[in-house]
Chain A
Amino acid sequence: MTSDLMRSERGHDVAQRELLRTKVEAAASTYHEVDGWEEVAGHAAAHGDRVAIAPSLHAARPALATSLQDRGCTVVVPGTDDPAADVADVPVAIVAGVMAVAETGSVLVAEHELRDRVVTMLCQRLLQVVAADDVVDRLEDAAAWLAPRGGQAGFASLMTGPSRTADIERSLTIGVQGPDEVDVLVLTGTDVATEETTA
């Protein structure tokens, strides 16, 4: 790859993330670029002392729970018996997204098991974490991810902001039956890439 090309790609990445930030904020979420998972843990701990982690994420990154515990947090990983009760109204939850779509400020979260899904449904504040390399331009990029997975049981959700309603007199209320607050955390640090290539 020539250095020119690298520069132009980096230029695209920066513009893409700026668009993502604008759209995420327009959807009433907050946007943060963080160096790595340690910073994610810090962000979570700043918002509550009970933090739920989706079991799939916990399995992939056991160190996350340790970082949270080091910061004095109780870590909740929902079990199989009554996962909804385990996480009901937990102050903070962390979920890893497959990709973030700059066009809409959405994070695509693909989780199938109930105990993974309840985490994003029942928490009060949701941290959606996505790697900078997984920021894409358009909804069609999400379609391209979904298409090869067709015909196989699964659940994927483009999440865009905290839950909301305008059912009463079209008056917008944020925070209805899902999370009241959503933070999108984009992992930009080099350690992220290293982790992924060695994984």
Chain B
Amino acid sequence: MSELRSFDERYATALADPDVRAGLTAFQRGWRDSRDAAIADLEEQEGRSFDELRAELAAIKDGVRDDWQHHLDTFTANATAAGAEVVRVATPGEANALITERMQAAGADLMVKGKSMVSEEIGLNSHLEAAGITPVETDLGEWILQLAAETPSHLVMPAIHKRKEVIAALFERVLDRPFPPDDIDRMVKVARTELRERFLASSVGLSGANALIAEGGSILLVCNEGNNRMSVALPKLHVVTAGIEKVVPTYADAMKQVRLLGRSATGQPITVYTNFLTGPRPGQEQLIILLDNGRTAMAEDPDVAAALRCIRCGACADVCPPYGVVGGHAFGHVYTGAIGLVNTSFHHGIEAAAGPQSLCVSCGACATVCPVEIPLPVQILEVRENVARAGEAGTAGRVTRAALRAFQHPMLVDLGLRAVGVATTPLRRDGVTALPAALTSRGPLAERIGWRSPPAVPVRPARDTLRPGRLEEPPRLADQPLAGRKVQLFLQCVSDRMAPDIPIAAAKLLRAAGAQVTVPRDQHCCGLPAYDSGEQDAARSMVRQTMDTLADGADVVTPASSCLAMLGHDAPYLLRGDLDEVERAQELAGRTYDLISYLTRGPGRLPAGSLDDGDRTPVTVHRFCQASNTLGRKDAIEAFLRDVAGVPVVPLPEASECCGFGGSTSVRNPELASGILDRKLGCVDRTESSVLITDNPGCILHLRGGVHASGREVEVLHLAEYLVRRLPGATSTSQER
């Protein structure tokens, strides 16, 4: 089996094969449909929500860690009573040595393996091979990878990155007979005939464990193909490799895991074979190896301990937009998907965790489907901070820190961007900077920058236009829900400097509804970009500065939902070390709104039809991913547009999925961001709408750039920009450009 290559190499390989992306996108879409249907059935069956069910399983797994030794001891005692030998090991080296030693003592030179991620974690196959022992993978996907000398790219569907044509060619080469790529059935059946002999010849079988049931000393082992049942029964020695976090107290607890595992993994209510093994069968020995390898350290770190709830269903990868572009060989290490971005640093070291970190777009989708409610997006940012610390001395680390240090000085940012604005004036069109074709269509930079036109940088930021008295009085709405109410507008650093029309439109809209809009002068940045870059100290200092700026107790409204994600959700967590600051952050969070929530749930509720100007041109809506996934917003914008603006809304497929902007991701990994953007714009094409509305400025600049560079005829607008056009007496185009 091949050793893992460097991250850069894995990333480049993944990008080089467009088939990988097409296959993964189809896989993710198919999984989503099956999983959602299966979970909806479960909710109906149980009369409880997914959130209640997963909280229950999460509590079971957390409860185990409160008394971990006791549960492990109980498991060991019961398994031993049933005739098993249970050995706890600290490191992969110990596990490999023990298995090799036992096999050599038994004179065995062949091992049939069922799927076991722990055996991947410890690199068992290469150790066995070095000792002259042949491991044979018996799960179809794992077997395909073994023939191809690759590692799994997914926790449940190990070979999902391979197209059927590639697998057919592989079988033809290895088995020396023809395999038509469309005859998947035939490829599947070949495993049965090829592997049957190995099962019968092997004296040692290996399996993982989906759970270790303490009350009975039983192994829960699930599979669909039936291979595992053979590899644990036929050989004279059955070796089990399992992480110590797999222990659950009772059989009833295991059943709760079963209910969520199959549905989350493959959309099945239960796997075909859900096996409970207690001790060896008569005439057999059973060796159960319980591996720590960083798990105790994880449990001791409150920031990541909850990751030990993981039941390895792979759902976090199945909804992950970057995973859908590059697959698990780049997005992860041995463990793939979002969970791999967290646990890799504990099982395989911080260096192994560093590369894939930069691929996460922080969209939060993983947390919405995790059946044990692991706060993966927050944990990933914790690991990212450790990665950033470990990389401080490197060039990239120094550049990032220098840039963030500069960014913390509003004056510097102000002068710098005004200068850029002046310099790029000749290139400004349609809200973007149109780069010369010589730069974007060929040459070394083309692939990195050609797919997205950069935003236009205006000479005048929004804060200038919004100075008292500068903005002409907008028309007033008939209803004035905000009459006499003071609203502090938080501009957002990005829109202020790169999309000033957005905060200006928001100010007009709020004034039209009667608000007295103020723009606190010293506002700068909420700290989100620093937090996303793993620079938590810088993020904290920016949050504090923002809290100082907005200390006046009036409502705060921002046209940028990402700032709300920061100020309303992340800030109290980020400041958790100081209770006074947490209280301040919570107080601010309680009176901070993004525009849509202010207009729908907050004080600015507008009556139905109040922004209906009679225009019925259909629009579509991209739901900012963090608003959906982190803030729990559903169809608020669509409903508002329909009810208050009277406009038909065409549903956007995969509306909540990230557009690929992902903060710094699109700067550091443009190839990845352009892949995610392609998927998003493909969905927009399917709506046939000429207007795309959303409410996060970062997404808007990114989408506009992509639309412009690809020559599409779609207008990308912030909700506020769209709505001001519908104010009584408004002209349909912006005045402030």
Please report A residues at the B interface, Cβ cutoff 8 Å. Answer: 23, 26-27, 84-85, 88, 103-104, 106, 112-114, 117-118, 120-121, 139-140, 142-144, 146-147, 149-171, 173, 175-179
Contacts and interface: CB of A to CB of B under 8 A. Distances in A.
Contacts of A153: 82-83, 278-282
B184 interface: yes
A177 B192 contact: yes
Contacts of A159: 272-273
Given A157-B273, A173-B185, A114 B282 contact: yes
B159 A176 contact: no
Interface in B212-238: 213, 215-218, 224-227, 229-230, 233-234
Contact of A103 (B45, B78, B140, B252): B45
B162 to A, nearest CB: 8
A85 B275 contact: no
Contacts of B276: 146, 154-157
Contact of B230 (A161, A175, A177): A177
B191 interface: yes
B281 A162 contact: no
Interface stretch (B253-261, B636-644, B678-686, B689-697): B253-261
B225, B227, B250, B275 pick with most chain A CB within 10 angstroms: B225
- Counting chain B residues whose Cβ lies within 8 A of the other chain, the interface size class is 35 or more
A190 to B, nearest CB: 32
A169 B215 contact: no
Nearest to A117: B233
Nearest to B187: A168
| A-B residue pairs, 10 tightest by C-beta | A150-B216, A178-B226, A153-B279, A167-B141, A143-B251, A163-B226, A139-B255, A158-B274, A176-B225, A177-B226
Contacts of B226: 121, 163, 176-179
Contacts of B31: 170
B162, B230, B251, B269 pick with most chain A CB within 10 angstroms: B251
Contacts of B187: 168
B188 interface: yes
Contacts of B274: 106, 157-158, 160
B139 A149 contact: no
B116 interface: no
9 contacts: A117-B281, A151-B278, A153-B83, A158-B270, A163-B226, A163-B272, A167-B141, A169-B163, A170-B160
A120, A147, A157, A177 pick with most chain B CB within 10 angstroms: A177
B480 to A, nearest CB: 55
Interface in B135-189: 138-141, 144, 157-160, 162-164, 167, 184-185, 187-189
B293 interface: no
A164 B272 contact: yes
B23 interface: yes
Nearest to A156: B276
Contacts of A121: 226, 229-230, 233
Contact of A118 (B45, B163, B233, B282): B233
A155 B270 contact: no
B188 A140 contact: no
Nearest to A116: B281
B140 A167 contact: yes
A85 B83 CA distance: 27
A140 B258 CA distance: 11
A114 B284 CA distance: 9
B433 interface: no
Contacts of B81: 151-152
Given A112-B281, A147-B251, A167 B139 contact: yes
A104 B140 contact: no
B144, B213, B233 pick with most chain A CB within 10 angstroms: B233
Contacts of B272: 27, 159-164, 178
B82 A178 contact: no
A41 B544 CA distance: 78
A49 B226 CA distance: 24
B30 interface: yes
B698 to A, nearest CB: 33
A22 B376 CA distance: 37
A176 B282 CA distance: 27
B283 interface: yes
Contacts of A165: 140-141, 188, 224-225
A27, A118, A157, A165 pick with most chain B CB within 10 angstroms: A165
Nearest to A168: B184
Contact of B275 (A150, A152, A156): A156
A154 B258 contact: no
B196 interface: yes
Contacts of B189: 175-176
Contacts of B213: 150
Contacts of A156: 275-276
B266 interface: yes
Nearest to A161: B272
Given A84-B234, A167-B139, 20 more contacts: A103-B269, A104-B270, A117-B233, A121-B226, A142-B251, A143-B252, A147-B215, A147-B250, A150-B78, A150-B217, A163-B273, A167-B157, A168-B140, A168-B162, A169-B160, A170-B26, A170-B27, A176-B189, A178-B225, A178-B273
B519 interface: no
A157 B188 CA distance: 24
A22 B272 CA distance: 16
B281 A150 contact: no
Contacts of A157: 229, 273-276
Contacts of A150: 78, 213, 215-218, 251, 278
Contacts of B269: 23, 26-27, 103-104, 160
A169 to B, nearest CB: 5
B203 interface: no
A121, A140, A163, A176 pick with most chain B CB within 10 angstroms: A176
Given A150-B218, A168-B140, A171-B184, A112 B82 contact: no
Given A117-B281, A167-B141, A151 B216 contact: yes
Contacts of A152: 81-82, 278-279
A155 B84 CA distance: 13
B556 interface: no
Contacts of B225: 163-165, 176-178
A114 B184 CA distance: 32
A112 B199 CA distance: 18
B195 interface: yes
Contacts of A160: 269-274
A97 B139 CA distance: 26
Contacts of B45: 103
Nearest to A120: B229
A80 to B, nearest CB: 9
B66 to A, nearest CB: 22
B232 to A, nearest CB: 8
B200 interface: yes
A84, A121, A169 pick with most chain B CB within 10 angstroms: A169
Contacts of A112: 281-282
Contacts of B167: 168
B277 interface: yes
A147 B248 CA distance: 13
Given A104-B270, A121-B226, A157-B273, A173 B184 contact: yes
Contacts of A117: 229, 233, 281
Contacts of B254: 143
A96 to B, nearest CB: 17
